[in-house]
């Protein structure tokens, strides 16, 4: 009984072995057999090895010396500041450019800038602030011609028109804003026929008829661009104007007609000057035609 059982057990265990290996006397499992077959296939080139990714080189991290960089930056800034305050940049020459309505002496007096001052102590904002209350200064540009030449370029507000209010002239610039209140016209065109209700320096006056004011200002600026000048412009109730070249030589027409006929007006004025005619009326109509009459009316 026991012998047969052992024989059966032995044969039963053989079922987990390959027949070839059993006959050859090897005690080999299926996994061993598959491993041998796979090895053989690899050697015969039947199985391709998967490509291997190249190993990445580890980057060496350099130590960042932040504190050292900060110290160097601060040292450079301090060095530049001290150098800018050195005698090398003391002002030896102060130049004021493009000023005609405000004198160089007045600008220097207002700003208090002097020869011997450090060039970098005077910023553009500081100069502008010192001249902020001057009605004829529109803006200031500062240029430094290193190492010692300081240049102040003035952009002035040009008087364009004026209106008599309470015995004084309100001086108005090309933007229509009140520059100043003066006893004279400041070489600007006098506007008549407008009613000023209120005004402040730096603002456009309040008019009873703002559209008429805008129309006259547009005409004056167009006339100036054409190289002409009207001493006075009087607004008539019908919307036309009397534009005085001189006290005795007048152009009559609407502002629009005068603007569109500027070339013709210039030709007539040139012809009159050649004939030494200093009195009369130049009539402008909608046909852009200018006619002259020697009679003032």
User: What integer pLDDT is reported at residue 211 of this predicted model?
Assistant: 95
**Residue 50 resides in a domain:** no
CB 283 within 8 A of CB 267: no
pLDDT, averaged per 10 consecutive residues of the chain (297 residues), comes to 47 46 50 65 64 62 73 82 75 93 92 91 91 90 92 94 96 94 95 96 94 96 95 96 96 94 91 93 83 80
Residue 242 host element (H or E): strand 241-246
User: What is the torsional sign of CA 216, 218, 222, 227?
Assistant: positive
Check whether residue 13 and residue 132 sit in a common domain.
Answer: no
Check whether residue 139 and residue 22 sit in a common domain.
Answer: no
User: What integer pLDDT is reported at residue 80 of this predicted model?
Assistant: 74
Cα three-residue angle 121-124-129, rounded to 5 degrees: 95
Domain boundary among 103, 127, 156: 156
Domain boundary among 156, 191, 213: 156
Quote the distance between the C-alpha of residue 134 and its chain's center: 25
| Structural domain boundaries enclosing 178 | 159-293
CB 143 within 8 A of CB 151: yes
**Residue 13 resides in a domain:** yes
Check whether residue 150 and residue 166 sit in a common domain.
Answer: no
**Residue 199 resides in a domain:** yes
Q: pTM higher than 0.75 for the full model?
A: no
**Residue 286 resides in a domain:** yes
Check whether residue 167 and residue 221 sit in a common domain.
Answer: yes
The DSSP bridge partners found for residue 170 are 163, 181
In this structure, what is the dihedral angle of CA atoms 78, 79, 82, 85, given to the nearest 10 degrees?
A: -110
**Residue 43 resides in a domain:** no
User: What integer pLDDT is reported at residue 73 of this predicted model?
Assistant: 83
**Residue 38 resides in a domain:** no
Check whether residue 14 and residue 136 sit in a common domain.
Answer: no
CATH code at position 118? 3.10.20.310
Split into its structural domains, the chain has a count of 3
User: What integer pLDDT is reported at residue 178 of this predicted model?
Assistant: 95
Check whether residue 264 and residue 148 sit in a common domain.
Answer: no
Check whether residue 165 and residue 282 sit in a common domain.
Answer: yes
User: What integer pLDDT is reported at residue 72 of this predicted model?
Assistant: 84
CATH code at position 202? 3.40.50.11690
| Residue 80, helix vs strand vs coil | helix
Check whether residue 152 and residue 163 sit in a common domain.
Answer: no
Cα(42)–Cα(35) distance, integer angstroms:
11
> What single string gives the DSSP state of each residue in 169-211?
EEEEETTS-EEEEESS-TT-EEEES--EEE--TTSPPEES-HH
Check whether residue 152 and residue 176 sit in a common domain.
Answer: no
Give the phi and the psi of residue 132 in degrees, each rounded to 5: -65, -30
Which tokens in the block code for residue 279?
A: 């009195």
CB 171 within 8 A of CB 113: no
**Residue 42 resides in a domain:** no
Check whether residue 120 and residue 173 sit in a common domain.
Answer: no
Cα(39)–Cα(16) distance, integer angstroms:
22
**Residue 206 resides in a domain:** yes
């Amino acid at each position: 009984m026991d012998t047969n059982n052992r024989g059966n057990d032995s044969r039963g265990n053989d079922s987990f072995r390959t027949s070839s290996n059993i006959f050859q006397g090897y005690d080999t499992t299926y996994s061993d057999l598959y491993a041998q077959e796979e090895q053989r296939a690899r050697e015969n080139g039947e199985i391709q090895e998967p490509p291997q990714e190249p190993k990445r080189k580890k980057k060496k991290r350099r130590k960042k010396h932040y504190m050292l960089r900060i110290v160097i930056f601060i040292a450079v800034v301090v060095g530049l500041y001290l150098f800018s305050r050195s005698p090398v940049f003391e002002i030896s020459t102060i130049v004021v450019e493009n000023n005609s309505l405000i004198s160089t002496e007045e600008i220097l007096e207002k700003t208090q800038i002097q020869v011997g001052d450090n060039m970098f102590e005077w910023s553009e904002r500081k100069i502008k602030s010192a001249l902020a209350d001057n009605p004829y200064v529109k803006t200031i540009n500062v240029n430094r011609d290193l190492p010692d030449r300081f240049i102040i370029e003035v952009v002035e507000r040009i008087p364009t028109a004026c209106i008599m209010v309470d015995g004084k002239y309100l001086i108005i610039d090309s933007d229509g804003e009140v520059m100043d209140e003066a006893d004279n016209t400041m070489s600007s065109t006098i506007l008549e026929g407008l009613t000023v209700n209120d005004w402040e320096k730096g603002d456009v006056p309040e008019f009873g008829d703002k559209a008429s004011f805008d129309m006259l200002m547009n005409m004056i600026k167009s006339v100036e661009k054409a190289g002409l000048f009207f001493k006075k412009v009087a607004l008539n109730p019908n919307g036309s104007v009397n534009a005085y070249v001189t006290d005795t030589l007048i152009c009559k027409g609407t502002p629009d007609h005068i603007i569109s006929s500027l070339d013709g007006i210039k030709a007539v004025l040139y012809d009159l000057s050649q004939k030494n005619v200093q009195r009369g009326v130049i009539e402008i109509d909608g046909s852009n035609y200018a006619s002259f009459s020697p009679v003032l009316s």
